[in-house]
Structure 1
Amino acid sequence: MSGGPGRHPRLHELVARRAAAAPDAEAVVAGRERLSYAELEEAAGALAGRLRRLGAGPETLVGVCLGRSPWLVVAILGVLKAGAAYVPVDPAFPAERVEFMLRDSGAGLLVTEEALRAKWAGRSATVVSLDRDWDVIAAGEPWTGEQEPGEQEPGEQGPGSTELAYVLYTSGSTGRPKGVAVEHRSAAAFLSWALERFTARELRYTLAATSTCFDLSVFELFAPLAAGGTVVLAETVFHLPVAAADRPVTLVNTVPSLLLDLLSSEPLPPSVVTVNLAGEALPAALVRQVYATGTVERVHNLYGPSEDTTYSTWALVGRDADKPPIGQPVTGTTAHVLDAHGLPVPDGGTGELYLGGAGLARGYLGRPALTAERFVPDPFSGVPGARLYRTGDLVRRLPGGELDYLGRADQQVKVRGLRIEPGEVEGVLMEHPAISRAAVLARGDGADAAGLVGYVVCAGDTDFASVRRFLRDRLPSYMVPGRFVPVPAIPLTVTGKVDVGALPAPA
């Protein structure tokens, strides 16, 4: 996958190669709308030309806010071809968050559509409306993605383009969203692993149902396009049955909780051969349920933060796995389990996961202090300037070398002076045959009255005495919740985290 001597190609170059090799192949579909690779390249090149004339170029940021049609992919590719970086904005985001993202990123250009134009009234960004302005865009000189004289050639500072590719905003512990800035070389290194790991058959029709504001979308869009496959756009994973009625979806890439909810009402289409699950703990019961279709051949448990370009570790999960591990690092990534002093933890011991290697992001946009806090020097690498990202996730290395995820370090609670990771309790709860989802919190009336409460989505009239016995067989007694609250669903925030404020107080 070399893009020249000693470097990875840029993201849009991967797509351009496939367009040159098979221009008439189907690149993107959304219902009855479709674009071939040639049409995708032509439209993206025309948009890139327009954006260049409006000032887009290396290290400039362009907002992209569009519905889930093939033009969403045109917009992202057009921004990349122009040499700029895209900042995805979900049309469903509240106005306050959108305003912050545009202001914080400094995006002076915004690609959108007329139906959403009212959201940008009064804002200073120059708006390019694809449907209203398309005649003007198409009439202009297209841009191929090549450098102008004087622009830095990608790869001059190392193996791959150091140009910024995209900025994704994630929730911050202080309440202020932070923009994760990812360069082309990091994303291309990740895709190099993806093309090694996934076959063209698996990527042939890849469901893209994740908002482009979240890092799973990088895999869903660029892995199939780099492999010559088809991106099957859908509003959510719950639209999979409809999408699969038009195209035989072969790969689904989503989070376990969403797939659980889907399977409660709809079976997986028989065309699906590979299921990727990421973003939260993977219950073994879900793995068995997916394999029980008889048509799914591979289930992967994938782990990784946006700060390390989507996926950092992977595991091919067997049909009879008791507790799926998060596996081993992807190609080009290093993983260290370190204690509070930054020293390696013996195998089997619990420590914080530090990630290094080719996939690391540049850092947090405009926040050098936070970048320095989370991206620290790598004492284990001989490469000058090498860094490690502190994930804040607790793991242990299993005897075979794979990593086992235990929970978040910053979710740690104390009950009667004993430290507990709620994620570990949640994982065991979801191994119970009657429980499909769980969230564990420390609740109490006072500082000394904290106790664990288990919020559970369960089948029928579950006998919680049997649940307690089940937990006591697997956990120390102090980790067994004192109270259980049945709920119809575990409420989630827009970023997929448990919405603690929406959970009822226990009686």
Structure 2
Amino acid sequence: MSRGDKLISPVRDPAGTAVPGLLGRVPRDPGRVALVHEGRDLTFGDVAALGEDVADVVRAHRLEGRVVGVPAERSPEFVARIVGVWGAGAVPAILGDWGPERVRAALTASGAAAAFGPALTELQPLHTGRRLHAGDAGEVSHVLFTSGTTGKPKGIVVGRAAFEAASEAFFKELPMDESDRIAFLSRPGHDPSLRELIAPWLTGATLFIPDSRTAADPRLLAAWLSRHSITVLQGSPVLLQLMAGASRLPVESLRLVCSVGARLTAAALRSAARFAPRATIANCYGASETPQVVCMHQVPPGEGAASEDPVPIGRALGHASVKIGDEGRLHVEAAACALGYTDGTPLPASGHDGRRWYDTGDIVRLLPDGSMCFLRRADRQVQVNGVRVELDEIEGAAARVAGVVDAVATYVEDGSGVGSVRLTVVRGPTAAVDGEELRAVLSDCLDPAVMPAGIEVRDSSPKDQPGAQGEERPATLWEVLHDSAQLVLGPGRGRIDPDGGFFDAGFTSMSLMRFVAEVSVRLGTEISPVLVFQYPTLNAFADHLRENLDEGRDSEGGRHG
């Protein structure tokens, strides 16, 4: 939704509206505030009325039981659309902040009959609409998308019963009430964000939604948490470390911090414990297929500072049954899983015990106290700063570019759990494809979070490789920093001011992670991403590295202006 499309007050009496299904089980005072966004309070009645406006449009298009594309964003409009689509008996297919090609692929995969446009109730019919393969529409809650192995997104059909059971189990394990202030920090379109979205209705808490600039800058975000006295937040381990590194003071109001979306390392846990000294830290384990949190390990206040790897993922919540199979592979029983994939592929398989289980592909170890810890993946699936990706998807997308004859994606992770993808492609003898062209194509069909931090293009003939005719001069430190910054930001950015802030140059917290990862690879040493917030310009960052790294490569030395 464009910034100019501001919400207006509902015309109908909010006391006469209701929210559907799971959200309507506990009556809420329609005059009480449910959401706060950019200084505006929306009551439960306001959201219900806006949701009914959305539902009216869905019904007018006769989309009951059909899939409707809903662009995900941190906004009251997104909440109202989900409420309205559910209320009309349709199925929301939640679309991330993607390029046009990936959006089209997701809509096609889900068989969406329509998709919302920029305005709240603007609904655009699609001609590719078809019925879902997995499950009757009345059994389906929503469709999420994750990484596939074909270069296209994979749609996951989440059942209503499994979603509701998982949501109720989560809030039973971590009770919240009307005194809580929950931050909407998870990436919209990913399953953790749905817990934040439904929390006001299930618990009575108030959901606080940061503006886009604040959400993209951990320095502003840490201050925003304190200013609004936030008590509960979810975040990836990377985000928790970035906020801890960017904030000079702890956030004393936080009583609960949930680590979601990726493996929680001891380093990230220690950072979170310093950042939120009064908070219980919950390590939440799950997958889009489960479809929410399946296992949880809680660390009481004051105990996270002494943590060591591996951090446990705990035990199964009350709604789920799990077992450890051959080679330590973790399985989840079908009742706690999604219905299947949008292409009709079923999710769980029958086990030797006659029950149906989903193989997560995660290798775990049983601990003496009966809890579990995550060890590694059994395949090429990785988590890039909280976003799941199949390396095969990146390779498949690159292989479709004209002139590319081979592509290999690799994943590199440092000790704190911050990782990045590097892509190496081989082009044909007469091909002219380069890194900029590849990046432009990939940005249209991949989730921005999993864009390769570095792309290396090689010629198919070894004699044509750079350096084949002689040894290249090692790059200086400044060249490594400048070239890495230009690579991550992409073409068309122009000159980067060496004394200007990283965010002023166009970086986001996500692209800064790729920048640090690229610099780490090029220098051959592990660099903490927190440093770019402590030294927030290219010159300051270079000065710190020059003083603290044992390197003699910057023979030209000096600061740059």
Measured against the shorter chain, the TM-score band is 0.5 to 0.7
Whether the aligned pair in 2 keeps the contact of 1:186 and 1:359 (CA below 8 Å) is: yes
State the match for 1:112 in structure 2. 117
- Report the CA distance shift for 1:38/1:335 in structure 2 as closer, same or farther (over 3 A): same
One-letter amino acid of the counterpart of residue 410, structure 1? D
**2: CA distance, partners of 1:81 / 1:363:** 23
**1: CA distance, partners of 2:316 / 2:234:** 18
Does residue 83 in structure 1 map to residue 82 in structure 2?
no
Q: Secondary structure at the match of 1:272?
A: coil
Q: Secondary structure at the match of 2:156?
A: strand
Whether the aligned pair in 2 keeps the contact of 1:252 and 1:276 (CA below 8 Å) is: yes
Does residue 377 in structure 1 map to residue 383 in structure 2?
no
1:55-454 maps to which residues of 2 (within 5 A)?
55-58=62-65, 60-65=66-71, 67-90=73-96, 92-114=97-119, 124=127, 163-201=139-177, 204-234=180-210, 235=212, 236=215, 238=218, 240-241=221-222, 243-244=224-225, 247-266=228-247, 267-293=249-275, 295-317=277-299, 318-319=303-304, 320-323=306-309, 324-339=311-326, 350-368=327-345, 371=346, 374-380=347-353, 386-411=355-380, 429-430=415-416, 437=418
Unmatched segments (≥5 aa) in structure 2:
1-17, 130-135, 383-409, 425-479, 489-507, 525-561
Whether the aligned pair in 2 keeps the contact of 1:250 and 1:274 (CA below 8 Å) is: yes
Whether the aligned pair in 2 keeps the contact of 1:180 and 1:363 (CA below 8 Å) is: yes
**Matching residue within 28, 41, 48 for 1:34:** 41
**Matching residue within 9, 14, 17 for 2:22:** 14
Instruction: Quote the offset at 1:25 in angstroms.
Output: 1.5
**2: CA distance, partners of 1:375 / 1:79:** 28
Q: Secondary structure at the match of 1:366?
A: coil
Instruction: Quote the offset at 1:70 in angstroms.
Output: 0.9
Residues 282-329 of structure 1 deviation map (CA, whole Å, 9 limit, x = unaligned): 122332333234643200111111000121110012423322111111
State the match for 2:439 in structure 1. none
**For this pair of structures, how many residues does the alignment match?**
387
Q: Which has the higher contact order (CA 8 A, sep 6+)?
A: 2
**1: CA distance, partners of 2:146 / 2:372:** 24
Instruction: Quote the offset at 1:354 in angstroms.
Output: 1.0
Instruction: Quote the offset at 1:15 in angstroms.
Output: 2.4
- Report the CA distance shift for 1:279/1:411 in structure 2 as closer, same or farther (over 3 A): same
State the match for 1:455 in structure 2. none
Q: Secondary structure at the match of 2:20?
A: helix
Whether the aligned pair in 2 keeps the contact of 1:394 and 1:406 (CA below 8 Å) is: yes
**1: CA distance, partners of 2:381 / 2:187:** 29
Residues 464-498 of structure 1 deviation map (CA, whole Å, 9 limit, x = unaligned): xxxxxxxxxxxxxxxxxxxxxx9999x89989998
- Report the CA distance shift for 1:274/1:493 in structure 2 as closer, same or farther (over 3 A): closer
Unmatched segments (≥5 aa) in structure 1:
1-9, 127-156, 340-349, 414-421, 431-435, 444-485
- Report the CA distance shift for 1:426/1:388 in structure 2 as closer, same or farther (over 3 A): same
Whether the aligned pair in 2 keeps the contact of 1:66 and 1:112 (CA below 8 Å) is: no
Percent identity, please: 26
Q: Secondary structure at the match of 1:407?
A: strand
Q: Secondary structure at the match of 2:313?
A: coil
Whether the aligned pair in 1 keeps the contact of 2:173 and 2:317 (CA below 8 Å) is: no
Q: Secondary structure at the match of 1:308?
A: coil
Q: TM-score, length-normalised on structure 2?
A: 0.61
**1: CA distance, partners of 2:296 / 2:20:** 25
One-letter amino acid of the counterpart of residue 392, structure 1? G
Whether the aligned pair in 2 keeps the contact of 1:218 and 1:310 (CA below 8 Å) is: no
One-letter amino acid of the counterpart of residue 364, structure 1? Y
Whether the aligned pair in 2 keeps the contact of 1:31 and 1:246 (CA below 8 Å) is: no
- Report the CA distance shift for 1:171/1:294 in structure 2 as closer, same or farther (over 3 A): closer
**2: CA distance, partners of 1:97 / 1:209:** 23
Instruction: Quote the offset at 1:190 in angstroms.
Output: 0.7
- Report the CA distance shift for 1:209/1:22 in structure 2 as closer, same or farther (over 3 A): same
Residues 173-198 of structure 1 deviation map (CA, whole Å, 9 limit, x = unaligned): 23221101101111110111122112
- Report the CA distance shift for 1:193/1:116 in structure 2 as closer, same or farther (over 3 A): closer
One-letter amino acid of the counterpart of residue 111, structure 1? F
**2: CA distance, partners of 1:211 / 1:80:** 21
Instruction: Quote the offset at 1:439 in angstroms.
Output: 6.6
Higher deviation after alignment, 74-83 or 270-279: 270-279
- Report the CA distance shift for 1:357/1:100 in structure 2 as closer, same or farther (over 3 A): closer
Q: TM-score, length-normalised on structure 1?
A: 0.67
**2: CA distance, partners of 1:439 / 1:242:** 27
- Report the CA distance shift for 1:25/1:358 in structure 2 as closer, same or farther (over 3 A): farther
Q: Secondary structure at the match of 1:316?
A: strand
Calculate the aligned-residue CA RMSD, in Å. Answer: 4.1
**1: CA distance, partners of 2:323 / 2:193:** 26
State the match for 2:399 in structure 1. none
Q: Secondary structure at the match of 1:361?
A: coil
Q: Secondary structure at the match of 1:326?
A: strand
